[in-house]
């Protein structure tokens, strides 16, 4: 597959890295010679210095035989025009654009992106995606990652293991014996910043970050088994009234009426704008690092604080300050990759990374075969994949114990006719089953092949 990536920033770099690892033909366009040189030295991709929306630059990149163009430069307008040029001049089949400004997302202007006007197949709004991701994490207190799968019948959860966890130091194969009626599968462990694709003999140790797939109806029991019985937040404090803060507050108002939220925004004009677009949420104007404004917001009685300003350092410090003043849980937005390993050791409970969320959303629209969703778990670890099993797939028919799965692949759940099935050795996958699995980075291409349509199928 030939892919043109417009923009060599954090998101463009991550997308190019994922696709290059899977042996795709990747060309990256950026105006910065330094970024192009860096991406060319680091990844097996071709780099071109130039303006991504210009026809001659796209021609140089080989747009005439490209399968996909992904426009993730810093300018919405460049991304839109790049897709328009790719469509009108080079007939690129699939066009994906990152568009940040919310005016373009207003439903009354939806016709702008119709095929006869500005044909963009997929529009990615990082602010929407991040706000939704934070809202999901708030629903399962105690988890640092929450991803719904298979029409929300299954969830992937990420939790930290403490010394008080009931199943710490327990071999994973014993989980079936301990919880015979619970559909739960551990699919990944991060230990000392190193990823582990676990076997049945592996144990969870204190300090591990564990990813597991569970039947959504059994979340409360599963979290208790992992030592987490925190209550869902009823009092929420949002630090930062930018696009993400506003969208999160609107989501809370619309979908969680029992939650009382407050927003602190430093800029007085922005605070007034945010207040005018919210109904129940209290908006306070002030510095999120000011103890007096935090006290005015009654931070001591807040179950969760969400720091989503445009500055990483402000988010980190305001989260720690809020917890020191009594907030039970801190969710912190971080853009700089170098900060991620430090945050949890400082006391931040959940780190939200827009780059990873945006990349996961884009990859979801690139994967081939009957793949319904893709979610990236940590940089370089692997992907959680939800796919439909086809009658021609080698997964269909024999018991799982007789299937030679690629190394680095673990089945997490099977959903059939509205029922969640925990995969065992005797389990047989049937055609049209929804399969949830984890694939290490170097096994993703093999998983795509498992779910692709073979020629003899037609």
Specify the CATH number for the domain of residue 51.
Answer: 3.40.50.720
Q: Which of 108, 124, 140 is the last residue of a domain?
A: 124
pLDDT in tens, 11-60: 899 889 888 877 789 999 999 999 999 998 989 999 999 999 999 999 99
142 domain-assigned: no
200 domain-assigned: no
Neighbours of 280 (CB within 10 A): 11
Residues 337 and 419 in one domain: no
Whole-number pLDDT of residue 454 = 46
| Strand bridging mode 194-196 / 184-191 | antiparallel
Whole-number pLDDT of residue 456 = 36
24 domain-assigned: yes
Residues 303 and 252 in one domain: yes
Q: Which of 74, 100, 124 is the last residue of a domain?
A: 124
Whole-number pLDDT of residue 368 = 57
Q: Which helix (H) or strand (E) holds 318?
A: helix 312-324
308 domain-assigned: yes
188 domain-assigned: no
Whole-number pLDDT of residue 387 = 86
Whole-number pLDDT of residue 131 = 92
Residues 410 and 335 in one domain: no
What is the C-alpha to C-alpha distance for residues 413 and 436, in angstroms, rounded to an integer? 5
Q: From residue 373, give the alpha-carbon distance in Å to each of 106, 140, 217, 361, 431.
A: 25, 21, 21, 8, 18
Q: Are 80 and 15 in contact (CB under 8 A)?
A: no
Residues 14 and 114 in one domain: yes
Residues 352 and 242 in one domain: yes
Q: Are 281 and 256 in contact (CB under 8 A)?
A: no
Residues 441 and 381 in one domain: yes
Residues 329 and 436 in one domain: no
pLDDT in tens, 60-103: 999 999 999 999 999 999 999 999 999 999 999 999 999 988 78
Residues 453 and 421 in one domain: yes
Residues 56 and 119 in one domain: yes
176 domain-assigned: no
Residues 279 and 319 in one domain: yes
What is the C-alpha to C-alpha distance for residues 96 and 367, in angstroms, rounded to an integer? 13
Residues 241 and 342 in one domain: yes
How many structural domains is the chain composed of? 3
Q: Which of 124, 140, 175 is the last residue of a domain?
A: 124
Whole-number pLDDT of residue 452 = 66
pTM above 0.75, yes or no: yes
248 domain-assigned: yes
- Can you give the CATH number for the domain in which 391 is found? 3.30.70.1450
What is the C-alpha to C-alpha distance for residues 361 and 358, in angstroms, rounded to an integer? 5
Neighbours of 43 (CB within 10 A): 19
Q: Which residue in 30, 99, 95 sits closest to 67, CA to CA?
A: 95
Q: Which residues of the chain have pLDDT under 50?
A: 454-458
Whole-number pLDDT of residue 252 = 92
Q: Are 40 and 12 in contact (CB under 8 A)?
A: no
Residues 321 and 402 in one domain: no
DSSP assignments along 320-386, one per residue: HHHHHTT-S-EEEE---GGGHHHHHHHT-SEEE-HHHHHHHHHHHTT--SSEEEEEEETTTTEEEEE
Q: Provide the residue range defining the domain that includes 318.
A: 235-357
318 domain-assigned: yes
Whole-number pLDDT of residue 455 = 37
Rg of the chain over all Cα atoms, to the nearest angstrom:
23
């Amino acid at each position: 597959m030939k892919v043109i990536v417009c923009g060599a920033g954090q998101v463009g770099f991550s997308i190019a890295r994922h696709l290059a690892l899977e042996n795709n033909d990747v060309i990256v366009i950026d105006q910065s010679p330094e970024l192009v040189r860096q991406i060319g030295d680091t990844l097996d991709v071709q780099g071109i210095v130039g303006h991504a929306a210009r026809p001659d630059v796209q021609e140089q990149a080989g747009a005439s035989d490209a399968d996909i163009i992904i426009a993730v430069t810093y300018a919405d307008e460049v991304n839109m025009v790049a897709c328009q040029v790719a469509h009108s001049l080079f007939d690129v089949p699939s066009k994906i654009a990152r568009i940040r400004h919310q005016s373009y997302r207003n439903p009354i202007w939806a016709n702008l992106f119709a095929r006869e006007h500005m044909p963009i197949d997929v529009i990615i709004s990082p602010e929407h995606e991040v706000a939704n991701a934070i809202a999901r994490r708030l629903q399962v207190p105690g988890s640092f990652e929450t991803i719904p799968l298979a029409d929300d019948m299954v969830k992937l959860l990420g939790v930290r293991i403490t010394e008080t966890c009931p199943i710490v130091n327990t071999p994973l194969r014993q989980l079936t014996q301990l919880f015979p009626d619970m559909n739960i599968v551990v699919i990944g462990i991060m230990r000392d910043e190193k990823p582990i694709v676990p076997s049945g003999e592996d144990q969870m140790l204190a300090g591990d970050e564990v990813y597991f797939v569970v039947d959504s109806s059994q979340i409360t029991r599963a979290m208790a088994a992992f030592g987490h019985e925190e209550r869902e937040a009823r009092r929420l404090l949002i630090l930062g009234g930018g696009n993400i803060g506003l969208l999160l507050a609107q989501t809370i108002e619309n979908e969680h009426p029992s939650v009382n939220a407050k927003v602190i925004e430093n800029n007085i004009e922005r605070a007034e704008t945010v207040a005018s677009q919210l109904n129940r949420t209290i908006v306070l104007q002030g510095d999120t690092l000011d103890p007096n404004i935090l006290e005015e917001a009654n931070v001591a009685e807040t179950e969760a604080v969400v720091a989503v300003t445009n500055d990483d350092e402000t988010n980190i410090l305001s989260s720690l300050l809020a917890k020191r003043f009594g907030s039970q849980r801190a969710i912190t937005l971080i853009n700089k990759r170098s900060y991620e390993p430090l945050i949890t050791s400082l006391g931040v409970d959940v780190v939200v990374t827009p780059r990873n969320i945006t990349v996961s959303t884009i990859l979801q629209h690139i994967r081939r075969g009957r793949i319904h969703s893709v979610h990236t778990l940590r940089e370089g670890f692997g992907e959680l994949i939800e796919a439909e099993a086809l009658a021609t797939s080698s997964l269909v028919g024999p018991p799982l114990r007789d299937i030679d799965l690629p190394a680095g692949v673990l089945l997490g759940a099977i959903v059939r006719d509205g029922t969640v099935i925990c995969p065992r050795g005797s389990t047989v996958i049937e055609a049209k089953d929804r399969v949830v699995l984890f694939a290490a980075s170097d096994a993703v291409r093999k998983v795509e092949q498992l779910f692709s349509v073979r020629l003899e199928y037609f």
